[in-house]
Chains A and B, each alone.
Chain A
Amino acid sequence: MSTETPAPAPAPAPGPAKKTNRLGLELSTYRGSKTTLCAGCGHNAITERIIDACYEMGVDAKKVFKLSGIGCSSKSPAYFLNASHGFNSVHGRMPSVATGAMLANKTMMAIGVSGDGDTGAIGIGQFVHLMRRNLPIIYIIEDNGCYGLTKGQFSPTAGMGTKTKNGVVNDLPPIDTCALAIELGATFVARSFSGDKKQLLSILKAAISHRGTCMIDVISPCVTFNDHEGSTKSYAYVKEHDEALGEVTFVPFFEDITVEYEPGTTTEVKMHDGSHLYLKKIAEDYDPTDKLAAARLLHETSRRGEFATGVIYLELDKDDFLTTLNMVDQPLAFLPSEKVRPPRAVLEELMDGLR
């Protein structure tokens, strides 16, 4: 049961068995409420990919926290995973709410959806510290370079020289959230484009397999306020300047598939849950586990006015925040009182120490 308006349950129709995932669940069970975003909004495509990724990975929706801040992007957790608890919190502060929720129950998976204003402006402080802590979370920025819900003002990721619909030119440099995330300590950093179904899906599935902060900046054009000539976040502009790092192939741990590749052409990465990620190298020799190379790549592509997309940085041997806290296995939220209220003798000992 969900308190979101559920789609009426379809009558069981005779016919061929419906396609299900490894949990025996149909794709529809991963859906949420009907979107209220604009038709053609890139965010809806991202929502679809989140649904697909969770379905294909066999994610147990009951074990997911979906969280967001405020803005068009932050509405979207209502549109996927109706069986999960969701929290549309306050502007720019989703990282702290997510941190608290994960402290309370470290067995959960957190999917946080933010926007470029929610992350890069009002929420930059919390973003910085979330990255620094390497909290296990999939943190998605639905990045359209503008504030949609307040009608098209520039956000901090707006490109230098980009124009609003009515001709105002942005003369401040953009914040590169990927470069920032790498610098600060995130252990899975990717950039994608809402229009690239295949790449985004692979990245999301790999993120589900990773234990640590996955920062995924998804360029997601705003069809209403930022899709015109002169914008550096329009569909046309992004398609033209998308510099894919190479094909991203993800093979989950529960699938027995071997990927053949020419030696030296592909980086193979074994993820925390045993899944495999194959990152086909582009012309230059690029190592996604090299922090300096990742930073260089981002700077070089942005200097050329391009968006490097793909898995940009991976660090697999760093403890996540919850591990460093050395908590008991059982979620703190469900510890019985005998575990969290010390016995009478402890109070007596404390009182004796104060006499």
Chain B
Amino acid sequence: MSLPLATAEPAGAPPDSHVVNDFSISVATVNGSGSQTANMILLRAMFQMGVPVSGKNMFPSNIAGLPTWYTIRANHKGYMARKKQIDFLVAMNAETAREDVLALDPGRAVVYDAPLKLNELRDDLILYPVPFDRIVAEVCPDAKLRRLVRNMIYDGVLAHLLSIDLGEMEKALSTQMGRKPKAMTLNMSAIEAGAKYAAEHFPELRHPYRIQRLNKTDGQILVDGNAAAAMGCLFAGCTVVAWYPITPSSSLPESLIGYMRKYRMDKETGQATFAVVQAEDEIAALGMVIGASWAGARAMTSTSGPGISLMSEFAGLAYYAEVPAVVFDIQRIGPSTGLPTRTAQGDILSTAVNSHGDTKHVLLLPSSMAECFDMAGDAFDLAERLQTIVYVMSDLDLGMNTWMSEPFTYPAKPFDRGKVLDEAKVRELGVTWGRYKDLDDDGIPWRSLPDTNTPPFFTRGSGHNSQAQYSERSDDYVTNLDRLAKKFETAKGLVPQPVEDAVAGATVGIIAYGSSHWAVTESRDQLRDEASLETSYLRLRAYPVPKSVEDFVRRHDRVYVVEQNRDAQMLSLFRMDLDPALQSRLRSVLHYSGLPLDARSVTQSIVAQENQ
């Protein structure tokens, strides 16, 4: 079978026309220049006009002076993945302007700082030179403020060129600025000056991209995944937070601290119903979580790949001693310096088996803001139900970028505190109880908590029998290890189950998880519309994989596992867990550039492999 080549993005707007509510903007600046506020105002104004938007920050691991790109995508269909091609460039950074402009497809638009003279590079673009320094000097007498106010000028220019209502810009500005009348006036005058300049100087140019009012954002929220997960922890009854700063995770505990200080102070006493500790490192952070959970609290930590590595010994202890723990992993690119501010799904394999000895862990795989919220609650319930460590595998794209979402749903279920002995249960079980005995045939033992009227026990790593007594006997170890495997089987039925979109007659399936979901959704439309390829889709929401994944693979001739890493990490887990007879059906779509996954890359990869 040969598919039509669906490899290129449809061309830009034809002459004498314009594209409405479907384009991407990239604002190229240097970090530390205060452009984030301006970018959020632009994004929010479009959102207020009812157009679905998403905002992604490609930022350096640096505080000030290195290149950064903020991309905003507006899409009337609600596609929220990164768009591979840039339609509208705002070139504010002299250092990258040349490369950024040369990368554009013909017909695209560029607003640029006039002294950069980008018109000398290309004659197939729509160019809008703007003398930012001159305009800012006119509206902002205070030279010290000009660096920040300068960004508002491009907001004004873009508002005019994209037909964004200035009233909406003002509303967005007020949301971003809060109650600071002086700052409001200054910044709004900069936006107006930018809009005025554009109106006066580019009347003869065709403006190829436009925002038109839609009704697709009613009731929706704009949020990042770290804030969503923090809210999830707030409502999940988390009481102990231990963390160590690391990009891109830090904003999760920092948001949580803010929410807890506001909403979790006891009304009568004004005292905290929580404790937060900034630990000395990630090892200590997980140690505190394990100590707190062992003593009965709901405790969490949040980290990224390097932290996961440091935590690995404790992760094994939680597995073997059967102590609950909740760990958020906001995944990013690998160790040390360079690209820790770029996204990846690079910790899947190492986290699933994190530690020494035979260990397997539960991973939750949120794809959306709502799932970042909901799965925080699931993580605490599962950690306590299964008495083990549970990882929530978010990533930088979900955690730190701005997403549109349905508002979150208040948790309907009471907390599941798992199998914790109380006095009645002690009487019921009598002498049959043993800390690590499988009394319910599900591999999950009953635990007792300190400071309750239930039997104490001594907690250790691997060297114990079912009564929690010290043991180096092989049969005790094997019995325990086999029960832990059984517990992991039980977990398959308790974790969030996959979501399937089965298309009748489709012979090709796609499996994806986490932030890849958005690109895959869009790619399936491209495959159908441009290459006439219908696909079924299974979105994985947790590891261990339930049997339905095997059934899905069995129903399709070829199944593409889409993931954001080089080594096909989830596929490697499938190779360990799924029926070997199905292995030949599995293929990989891999993306590991550090940029959020885009639909076009998925489409290109699947078409190329189908045509082989």
Chain A positions within 8 Å of B, measured between CB atoms, are: 1-5, 33, 62-63, 65, 67, 77-78, 82-90, 93, 95-105, 107-108, 125-126, 128-129, 325-329, 331-335, 337, 339-342, 344, 346-347, 350-351, 354-355
Contact = CB atoms under 8 A, between A and B. Distances in A.
B235 A347 contact: yes
B222 A3 contact: no
Contact of A100 (B223, B280, B290): B290
Nearest to A70: B461
A97 B288 contact: yes
Contact of B294 (A63, A97, A126, A350): A97
B489 interface: no
Interface string B264-281: 101001011111110111
A327 B272 contact: yes
Contact of A96 (B279, B414, B468): B279
Interface string B426-439: 00000000110000
A100 B292 contact: yes
Nearest to B267: A339
B283 A341 contact: no
Given A332-B239, A341-B237, A341-B411, A101 B292 contact: yes
Nearest to A32: B458
Given A96-B288, A100-B295, A332-B274, A342 B317 contact: no
A334 B296 contact: yes
Interface string B348-388: 00000000000000000000000000000000000000000
Contacts of B276: 325
Nearest to B219: A355
17 contacts: A86-B457, A87-B291, A88-B460, A96-B291, A99-B287, A103-B299, A327-B273, A332-B297, A333-B292, A337-B415, A340-B274, A341-B236, A347-B235, A350-B259, A351-B221, A355-B221, A355-B222
Contacts of A126: 280, 283-284, 287
Nearest to B291: A100
Given A82-B456, A88-B459, A325-B275, 16 more contacts: A77-B458, A78-B470, A90-B313, A96-B284, A96-B291, A97-B288, A97-B294, A99-B288, A103-B277, A105-B450, A107-B451, A332-B239, A340-B238, A342-B234, A350-B231, A351-B407
A344 B409 CA distance: 9
A341 B235 contact: yes
B450 A328 contact: no
A350 to B, nearest CB: 6
Given A3-B468, A93-B287, A105-B295, A328 B456 contact: no
Contacts of B286: 96
B477 interface: no
Contacts of A325: 272, 275-276
A2 B468 CA distance: 10
A86 B39 CA distance: 54
A85 B450 contact: yes
B26 interface: no
B199 to A, nearest CB: 30
Contacts of A346: 263
A164 B408 CA distance: 64
A89 B459 CA distance: 8
A88 B239 contact: no
What range describes how many residues of B lie at the interface? 35 or more
Contacts of A99: 242, 277, 284, 287-288, 291
Contact of A340 (B231, B237, B467): B237
B99 to A, nearest CB: 35
Given A328-B273, A337-B237, A347-B235, A100 B450 contact: no
Contacts of A108: 295, 450-451
B239 A340 contact: yes
Nearest to A94: B287
B271 A327 contact: yes
B456 A3 contact: yes
Contact of A104 (B264, B291, B448, B457): B291
Nearest to B373: A347
Contacts of B460: 88
Ranked 7 nearest A-B pairs via Cβ? A100-B291, A96-B287, A333-B296, A104-B297, A100-B288, A104-B295, A100-B292
B220 interface: yes
B32 interface: no
Nearest to B263: A342
A181 to B, nearest CB: 16
B275 A332 contact: yes
A83 B451 CA distance: 11
Nearest to B241: A103
A347 B231 contact: yes
Q: Which of A86, A87, A331, A339 gathers the greatest number of chain B CB atoms within 10 Å?
A: A87
Nearest to B279: A96
A100 B456 contact: no
Contacts of A332: 239-240, 273-275, 292, 297
B578 interface: no
B469 interface: yes
Contacts of B560: none
Given A104-B297, A325-B272, A327-B271, A78 B235 contact: no
Nearest to A66: B458
Contacts of B264: 340, 342
A88 to B, nearest CB: 5
A256 B43 CA distance: 74
A326 B450 contact: no
A326 B272 CA distance: 6
Contacts of A88: 458-461
Contacts of A85: 294, 448-450, 456-459
A354 B223 contact: yes
B314 interface: yes
Interface in B307-326: 313-314, 317, 321
A241 B551 CA distance: 74
Q: Which of B220, B237, B298, B435 gathers the greatest number of chain A CB atoms within 10 Å?
A: B237
A99 B242 CA distance: 10
B601 interface: no
Contacts of B414: 337
Q: Which of B275, B281, B414, B469 gathers the greatest number of chain A CB atoms within 10 Å?
A: B275
A85 B321 CA distance: 13
A3 B458 contact: yes
B240 A100 contact: yes
B299 A3 contact: no
